[in-house]
Structure 1
Amino acid sequence: MEPVLTATRRIAIQGVLGSYHEIAARQFFGPGVELEMCDSFPGLFRSLRSGKARYGVVAIENTVAGTLLPNYALLRESPYRIIGETYLRIEHQLLALPGTRLADIREVRSHPMALQ
């Protein structure tokens, strides 16, 4: 997929480097885009309002969680509009040290949504 916009603008994402939002932002805007990482979706909208970021990547549908109604509400209550969309296949992995058997695993740590 070709980037939609040039990577000369700062893009707000919810999450950190390596998150699905980072992947989606780079897929849509291009690999060299500069990112403003936010700890929440309300924080992402604050970054837009403050001018820290020009655009934001906001998940509104998720095959695990379904429609993300709180994000629709944030968008509806803001002056911002959707300028495009991108689709990202979500894949989770279970990683362990070499030689570990599945029966030996006693604890799994992840984002709660990934464990549903």
Structure 2
Amino acid sequence: MAAQRVVWTPALEGQLVELWQAHPSLYYVALENYHDRNIREKSWTQIAAELQLPVEEVKKRIASLRTQYGKLLKPKAGGSGQKPPTPKQICHLKFPEATIDE
């Protein structure tokens, strides 16, 4: 039997981003914990448990959000007309930059 598809609402995505940002070892490569696979897996498991979703779905959604965010930051190729961003793209542009208190 196939796993049921997760419907990602803006509220659920927002909660995911907040939880992800609370675990800098998942994205901040300068941290020593970033290179510790066990700590990273534990963080993913905690996030998934809090959202009551499978770990792989959570990882896949974060990867997708990061890709979309990166593409929106890149300037379009010269000569192509600039379209206004869609409401969903505007939401992705508000994807808060992860910061670390040093």
Q: Does TM, scored on the shorter chain, surpass 0.5?
A: no
* TM-score, normalization by structure 2: 0.26
Q: Which one scores higher on RCO, CA 8 angstroms, separation ≥ 6?
A: 1
Q: If each structure's helix is expressed as a fraction of its own residues, which one has the higher value?
A: 2
TM-score (norm 1): 0.24
Which has more radius of gyration? 1
